[in-house]
Structure 1
Amino acid sequence: MDGKSKMEIGNTKIKNKYSLERIGIIVFYVSVLLELIIVIIDKSNYINPIEGQLFRITFVFACLKVLLTKYTKKEWLAMLAFGILGLISYKMTGRNEILRIVVFIAACKNVDMRRMLKFVFYTTLAGCMILVLLSISGIYGGVALVNDFGRGYIQTRYTLGIGHPNALHCMFLMLLSLGLYLYNDRMRWYYYIVLFGLNYGLFVLTDSNTGMLMSMCMIIGAVLIRYWKGIRQQVWIYGAGIGLFLLCIAFSVLAADSRVAKPSKYWFENPWVAEAESHLNGRIIDLYYGSVNQEGTTATWSLFSRPENNYYFDMGFVRLFYWYGIIPAAIYVILHILLILQLYKRRDGTGLVMVSVFAIYTLVEAHLVSVYIGRNYILFLMGMYMSDMLYLGSEKEAYIWNAGKLI
């Protein structure tokens, strides 16, 4: 075979490689788009009768992206290990979220994740604006709720088509956080003032204390990263981020343990739990008196959970342990810490602010602990950095049909 023929064969292989990768990326975008549409539908008043089928389609598309992507030997082994974890979880609980997340994170390889996150940002923003416009125009969805929201008096709080006032401010927080993560380095000082104004204006409509406070923390954190010279280079802020995350986990575990909380007559004998509950508007007490079997307390936790653990409550990290089990939750804690270490290596200060705000928010709200991949932006960051987080990189890569050659 002459040199020209060898060159032609080499060029053909390169073209085939890029064709497969391009197809895989397109398929992955379709998968993410479907995930986002599912999220938007869930935020509306519409009950989606085919949600489960749509999740299966997104899973198949993500699997197809994996099949059309080259991975290193370590990456294939990591996928296998986490896949087994997902299968065990599915077998023990009937939940397929871990398996879906494993495939989703693996499918993020070779995808420009910042561009993907911009796609997520604008698609979610457009979806929420459509719900708001449909609501205020009277076409579909409620504008406000009149109810006693656990504060002992009747209130009118606005939803603007997004189901619940807390959910409305939650979506503002999520979009605000993602927008600042993507564009903070290009922000003008007066943009932050506009964001403060929007947050306060929305608070007047929703009266959502948690959403307002967390949004304010996100804006202040972004301002500090933007204008405090050299702060993003400092190791201590990333250490503080890890400490804050672990503190949120520890608080959740202790609050859910009846031996620590000491519930008694719809209150708590433990003074610090009682003090925390006075600010959390029934979130801890709901674990002990919201169900017959005290669903969510540590007495209902197990290593891999069980099918009966399907009760809904607000505290996100408690739900993580309750829904999925102690072992999967512990693995997530480790991965979250590794993610923060990766943010330190890249001096990604705004990313640190975002995951820290999300940690505090997940302490009291379970928005990020759900069946919806498209609304958990931490999973996108893990997809961006997972190979580096676990040191899985290598020069040799192969598609699944050639993976045996890597051994």
Structure 2
Amino acid sequence: MERSFITKLRNIALYAALTIELLLMVYERSVLPLSSPKQIFRISFVLSVIALLLTKYSFKQWIAIVIVCAISVVSYKITGNNDLLRFSVFVIACKDVDLKAMLRYIFVMTTAGALLIVAMSVAGFAGDIRLIDDFGREAGSEVRYTFGFGHPNTLMSVVFSIEVLFVYLIRDYKRAVRNGIMVAMLALNMILYFFTGSRTGVALTVFTIVLAFAVYEIKFLQESVFLYGFGVAVIGACVAFSVWAAKISKYARKKKYPFYYKLDKILTGRIQSLYYDTKPHKGSLKTWSLFGDEFSGNSFFDMGWVRLFYWYGIIPAILILLVIVYFIYRLYRKRDYATMIMVISISVFTLVEASFVSSFIGRNYLLPIAGVYLFSESLYERNLADKS
């Protein structure tokens, strides 16, 4: 068969897998009942495997693929959680995709799904428009709007995800148009804050837009190593803080430790929940293990970096961090500052929210980008040629 025909088949299988994952992600974000999606995950996994087998790799890449899959299988055998294997195969299969086209597809599908959830809520079909509850912010009972997403923070995490990707997609727009869009996004977030009261989501979205404005306007930030070094430092700081938070989580509820107590209040109980939300204190540092266990994936924490270490184990999490650092190096060689903005923003967001650390591939659009940068030799070689 001709290579072009094989590539078309690969793209069909890969986009079918991605579509299933995106639709499942959108459905899961709503308040509609969801039973175990394992069977659906298996379908998307098989399609990813087909896409991988129809993709051309070098001998060195096949060695890397075998090693990655072997580690993922070991994790699956220990924990019974096949997330790492599913994610790894999908990333590898994304080697030669048209990245701009795929990211636009993810943006359209995610945005359309979110608007559908909002419309169903407003029309009264599914999901409440607002939630009246005590959100642990010393304000007593509050009225906060959810628009069908079940919780205002969930709504804002979806908005954050969409807007961060949109900031990436408008990078090549004319300066006046791009800046006008970003100003409109800032205004939208101020309006959403009035409805949701979600300080974290709004603050980090504003942080992303301000960072993007600075990078898009200042050529030094686009061309120098500073932005990429800053990204590595940010990730290191987020991971270090998460490890420390897991260690002191037992004391964050106690007023006799005023610094821990006040910090936990600022983070609305995220630190203490690592210790007190479950009887075995799952999430606290002493419960972390080298490769996780069969029960680790059943516990959920808002702090995403903690979830990464707790769910998959210390060794897989460290390996993932090393891959992220190498990924950033490849971004630097290509001077892909727009993607670096996303990496920094999502890393900070993952410190306090775990939306991007989940079993749903559709939540994390950095995965196809990683596949292209980690496995596309042609991309790397073209960039080296440009630099010489």
- Is the 8 Å Cα contact of residues 78 and 293 (structure 2) preserved in structure 1? yes
**How is 1:112-261 mapped onto 2 (pairs within 5 angstroms)?**
112-152=98-138, 153-186=140-173, 187-258=177-248
- Is the 8 Å Cα contact of residues 283 and 314 (structure 1) preserved in structure 2? yes
Aligned mates of 1:67, 1:388 — CA distance in 2: 15
**How is 1:88-107 mapped onto 2 (pairs within 5 angstroms)?**
88-107=74-93
2:345 corresponds to which of 357, 366, 369 = 357
Q: Does 1:334 align with 2:322?
A: yes
Q: How far has the Cα of 1:268 moved from its partner?
A: 6.8
**How is 1:66-77 mapped onto 2 (pairs within 5 angstroms)?**
66-77=52-63
One-letter code of the match for 1:253?
V
Which residue in 1 is equivalent to 2:32? Answer: 46
- Is the 8 Å Cα contact of residues 36 and 124 (structure 1) preserved in structure 2? yes
Give the stretch that moved more between structures: 96-105 or 69-78. 69-78
- Is the 8 Å Cα contact of residues 267 and 285 (structure 1) preserved in structure 2? no
Which residue in 2 is equivalent to 1:21? Answer: 7
Which residue in 1 is equivalent to 2:359? Answer: 371
Q: How far has the Cα of 1:312 moved from its partner?
A: 1.1
Which residue in 1 is equivalent to 2:384? Answer: none
Aligned mates of 1:170, 1:289 — CA distance in 2: 24
Query: Residues 262 and 314 of structure 1: is their aligned pair in 2 closer, same or farther, counting only changes over 3 Å?
Result: closer
- Is the 8 Å Cα contact of residues 137 and 265 (structure 2) preserved in structure 1? no
**How is 1:75-90 mapped onto 2 (pairs within 5 angstroms)?**
75-90=61-76
Aligned mates of 1:285, 1:58 — CA distance in 2: 36
TM-score of the two chains, using structure 1 as the length reference:
0.88
Q: How far has the Cα of 1:214 moved from its partner?
A: 0.4
- Is the 8 Å Cα contact of residues 144 and 159 (structure 1) preserved in structure 2? yes
Query: Residues 275 and 335 of structure 1: is their aligned pair in 2 closer, same or farther, counting only changes over 3 Å?
Result: farther
2:293 corresponds to which of 306, 326, 329 = 306
1:111 corresponds to which of 91, 97, 105 = 97
Give the stretch that moved more between structures: 224-233 or 79-88. 224-233
Deviations 1:230-274 (A, max 9, x none): 32112122111100110000110111114xx6617x327666544
Q: Structure 2: which 5+ residue stretches go unaligned? A: 382-388
One-letter code of the match for 1:21?
T
Which residue in 2 is equivalent to 1:36? Answer: 22
Aligned mates of 2:266, 2:180 — CA distance in 1: 32
Rg larger in structure: 1
Aligned mates of 2:266, 2:82 — CA distance in 1: 34
One-letter code of the match for 2:150?
G
Q: How far has the Cα of 1:338 moved from its partner?
A: 1.3
Aligned mates of 1:241, 1:50 — CA distance in 2: 36
Query: Residues 347 and 53 of structure 1: is their aligned pair in 2 closer, same or farther, counting only changes over 3 Å?
Result: same
Aligned mates of 1:115, 1:185 — CA distance in 2: 14
Aligned mates of 2:250, 2:276 — CA distance in 1: 13
SS in 2 for 1:147: strand
Which residue in 2 is equivalent to 1:285? Answer: 272
Query: Residues 222 and 155 of structure 1: is their aligned pair in 2 closer, same or farther, counting only changes over 3 Å?
Result: same
2:48 corresponds to which of 62, 73, 76 = 62
Aligned mates of 1:376, 1:268 — CA distance in 2: 38
SS in 2 for 1:188: helix
TM-score of the two chains, using structure 2 as the length reference:
0.92
Q: List, as ranges, runs of 4+ consecutive aligned residues in structure 1 with deviation greater than 3 Å.
A: 268-275
Aligned mates of 2:312, 2:36 — CA distance in 1: 24
SS in 1 for 2:55: coil
Deviations 1:278-305 (A, max 9, x none): 3101000111222211111111111101
- Is the 8 Å Cα contact of residues 27 and 64 (structure 1) preserved in structure 2? yes
Report the number of matched residues.
375
Query: Residues 366 and 20 of structure 1: is their aligned pair in 2 closer, same or farther, counting only changes over 3 Å?
Result: same
Query: Residues 273 and 240 of structure 1: is their aligned pair in 2 closer, same or farther, counting only changes over 3 Å?
Result: farther
One-letter code of the match for 1:78?
A
Aligned mates of 1:247, 1:271 — CA distance in 2: 22
